[in-house]
Amino acid sequence: MSTLAPLRLLREPSNASEGNHSNATVGAGGGWCQGLDIPNELFLALGLVSLVENLLVVAAILKNRNLHSPTYYFICCLAVSDMLVSISNLVKMLFMLLLEHGVLVMRPSIVRHMDSVIDTLICSSVVSSLSFLGVIAVDRYITIFYALRYHSIMTLQRAVVTMASVWLASTVSSTVLITYYRSNTILLCLIGFFLFMLVLMLVLYIHMFALARHHLHSISSQQKPPTAHRGGSLKGAVTLTILLGVFFICWGPFFFHLILIVTCPTNPFCACFFSYFNLFLILIICNSVIDPLIYAFRSQELRRTLREVVTCSW
């Protein structure tokens, strides 16, 4: 799947010419540096699965008044962001295929304009998706450590302001990114944002896990045998590993790709890594497929509503 500018500049750096890039890939390791040929059908299939999954999450939350709370509103926004990730990538893919096969004939200026609009939507959905992952982590932290004050801290008004701020910041930042996509400063800001979200989630979720483990230890110390403590700690550790592991595996390669663009654009081994850009896009779309399983479908109330939505029991 090829890419148009400005996302082409995220595939490989602007200061690496085609000849240098080709020689670098051959010199760095031959076959495995030729990249991974990912069929368009896989992009399409994953995009459609993600779209259906997240659409069901949004419908379930809107349908059930019991789910009309800040926590589920944040999950709903994450689902909308993930839907936009899938939709924007699907539109991008179809747009390029139509142009490449001559089905869609447009003036170059219109193509560039349409490309910039689609890229802005892609970047905005990626930034908002990352942002709401962080917001959900903060919301869960407040739920656990300030349970008695949660409703006074996370009021509906503050939740609305938070959601509006995330969407506005995502739109503005993505517009700036697409406008100044040749600037390493912009890429560094995007990398810094990812690292901030990664550290934020690591700190909050590990702290939450430590508190849950302490509570389980306190309970099990009053019981014999203390099996509940071991089982609960194992379950918590597995949940934490899945949550942070999925985040790092799905988002890490793409942002490591951006780091290499800034730090070693002409290095042969970095050029080798650039050739796997489509794989990194697939991982981001996979994250949109996995997010509902982690954040939404684990709720019994939401699963019940989801069954009603699927069976059209409105």
Enumerate domains of the chain plus CATH numbers. Answer: 39-220+231-311 (1.20.1070.10)
Give every CB contact of residue 212 below 8 A, 6+ residues apart in sequence: 144, 232, 236
Per DSSP, the three-state class of 209 is helix
The length of the chain is 314
What is the chain's alpha carbon radius of gyration, rounded to the nearest angstrom? 22
- HSE at residue 43, side-chain half, CA atoms within 13 A, is 20
Contact 242, 294 (CB under 8 A): yes
Question: Mean per-residue pLDDT for 61-73?
Answer: 91
Give the pLDDT score at 296: 81
The pLDDT of residue 162 is above 50: yes
Give the pLDDT score at 10: 59
Percent with pLDDT over 70 in the chain: 80
pLDDT of 4-31, one tens digit each? 444 555 555 655 544 444 454 444 455 5
Give the pLDDT score at 35: 65
Contact 93, 45 (CB under 8 A): no
Give the pLDDT score at 300: 85
Please indicate whether residue 93 or residue 137 has the higher confidence score (pLDDT).
137
pLDDT of 201-259, one tens digit each? 999 988 888 887 776 667 666 665 555 444 445 565 667 778 888 888 988 888 888 88
Give the mean pLDDT of the chain: 80
Give the pLDDT score at 25: 47
DSSP designation for 103: S
Sign of CA dihedral 157, 55, 296, 125: negative
Question: Mean per-residue pLDDT for 82-94?
Answer: 82
- CA pair distance 241, 159, nearest whole angstrom: 28
Which range, 25-34, 37-46, 65-74, 106-115, is most confident?
A: 65-74
Token look-up 């709401």 returns 132
Q: What SS3 string covers 219-288? A: HHCCCCCCHHHHHHHHHHHHHHHHHHHHHHHHHHHHHHHHHHHHHCCCCHHHHHHHCCHHHHHHHHHHHH
Instruction: Give the residue from 66, 57, 185, 206 showing the smallest Cα distance to 132.
Output: 57
Give the pLDDT score at 216: 65
